[in-house]
Amino acid sequence: MTNQNVVVPDTKSGINLPMVRLSGSSIFPATAQKPPTAPGTGGGGCISLSTKKKLLLENLEINGGGGGGARINSWIDSMRASSPTHMKSNQQLPWQQQQQQITLPSAMDNFDQIMEASRGKQIVMFLDYDGTLSPIMRTTVRRLARCFPTAIVSGRCRDKVYKFVRLAELYYAGSHGMDIKGPEKGSKYTKGTEPVICQPASEFLPMIDEVFKELVAKTKLTPGAKVENNKFCVSVHFRCVEEKKWSEVAEAVKSVLKKYPKLRLSQGRKVLEIRPTIKWDKGKALEFLLESLGFANCTDVFPVYIGDDRTDEDAFKVLKEREQGFGILVSKVPKETNASYSLQEPTQASLQNIFHNY
């Protein structure tokens, strides 16, 4: 890339900040500022998960094969408590009463700091799909991928995400990172002739398929329940189920899972997700992709991961531990997170604002 100007709109002041693209794949602000404190060092607005919260999250996570009943009930309770029909404006969930909620600095307002921290390093972009990428126009992601290696990481199955995005030059990590495929040959970031492929849970395919069918059969009489086959994991959606029927669906899930001790259950937004017990998540996918791109032991790489989901925390944590790049949490409300910055709206993450002139 040659030198280019990049205009970064400052959302607060409405002023466009001029950015200068100098060389390689990094962009730098025209006026450099002190880089933000590295993730994990307690500064720069970075928040760690408190032990208490971790325990509560673990409690909400249900392992397959028995013992999940009480935890399913805690999930139902937590879902009820957070439902708008139950929650008064100033009411806090039990775990929120135990923690101090800190607001992360805005990634848009501090964009020059982020860019300064990336000086001389290769930016690699990781974008969660739902809640982050979906509102962003394809053109913007395509432009982004021309500048930096770019990956989309999602809980959905890879084929579905690919059908939504339809950009062959990207890396895609579906099924919460358990199904990774790189661009076909010809992409400037492809090494060798074959696309990168990683499917660490491939032995679970027949089991997941079986569980999907069983769950469809078990939930078919519950109006609104939707079971989604995400290839290496299954999602059971509650969003359109009447609240009084939630426990009915949760019980159906529990009864199926009992037979599959190698599968575990976790909770998303009005969704229960069944996945293999293997130690693989979006964080592992991020590490795998960095390695595939040749950045395994590099100090001059700057990964930026933007995500809104609890499952994105695994990737934020990896970045924090590596002390490389930044996690950016898309959230309207303050949350405990391993991310370093936040964006309030997915549309705020619309990178056409940031990479305006690319």
Ligand X SMILES: O=P(O)(O)OC[C@H]1O[C@H](O[C@H]2O[C@H](CO)[C@@H](O)[C@H](O)[C@H]2O)[C@H](O)[C@@H](O)[C@@H]1O
Residue 291 in the binding site for ligand X (CB under 6 A): no
Q: Which of residues 292-311 bind ligand X (CB under 6 A)?
A: 309, 311
CB of 358 to ligand X, least distance (A): 24
Query: What's the per-residue H, E or C state across the chain?
Result: CCCEEEEEECCCCCCEEEEEEEECCEEEECCCCCCCCCCCCCCCCCCCCCHHHHHHHHHHCEECCCCCHHHHHHHHHHHHHHCCCCCCCCCCCHHHHHCCCCCCCECCCCHHHHHHHCCCCEEEEEEEHHHHHCCCCHHHHHHHHHHCCEEEECCCCHHHHHHHHCCCCCEEEEHHHCEEECCCECECCCCCCCCCEECCCHHHHHHHHHHHHHHHHHHCCCCCCEEEECCCCEEEECCCCCHHHHHHHHHHHHHHHCCCCCEEEEEECCEEEEEECCCCCHHHHHHHHHHHCCCCCCCCEEEEEEECCHHHHHHHHHHHHHCCCEEEEECCCCCCCCCCEEECCHHHHCHHHHCCCC
Which residues ranging from 262 to 281 are in contact with ligand X (CB under 6 A)?
268-271, 273
Instruction: Give least dist CB 226 to ligand X, A.
Output: 8
Give the number of residues in contact with ligand X, rule: CB under 6 A. Answer: 19
Site string for ligand X, 205-244 (x = CB under 6 A): -----------------------x-x----x-x-x-----
Does position 155 interact with ligand X (CB under 6 A)? The reply is yes
Cβ proximity to ligand X: between 73 and 134 the closer is 134
Q: Which helix (H) or strand (E) holds 127?
A: strand 122-128
Q: Which is nearer to ligand X, 65 or 268 (CB)?
A: 268
Using CB under 6 A as the binding rule, whether residue 130 contacts ligand X is answered as: yes
Binder among 112, 128, 281, 314 for ligand X (CB under 6 A): 128
Q: Which stretch binds ligand X (CB under 6 A): 78-86, 149-157, 197-205, 338-346?
A: 149-157
Q: How far is the CB of 267 from ligand X (least distance, A)?
A: 10
Per CB under 6 A, contacts with ligand X among 157-186 are none
Q: Which CB sits closer to ligand X, 133 or 290?
A: 133
Q: Does 26 bind ligand X (CB under 6 A)?
A: no
Q: Is residue 154 involved in binding ligand X (CB under 6 A)?
A: yes
* Closest CB to ligand X among residues 26, 311: 311
Tell me which residue has its CB nearest to ligand X: 155
Q: What is the DSSP letter of 280?
A: -
Of the pair 6, 315, the CB lying nearest ligand X is at 315
Distance between alpha carbon 274 and the CA centroid of its chain, in Å? 17
- Give the nearer residue to ligand X in terms of CB position, either 28 or 238: 238
Q: Which residues bind ligand X (CB under 6 A)?
A: 128-131, 154-156, 228, 230, 235, 237, 239, 268-271, 273, 309, 311
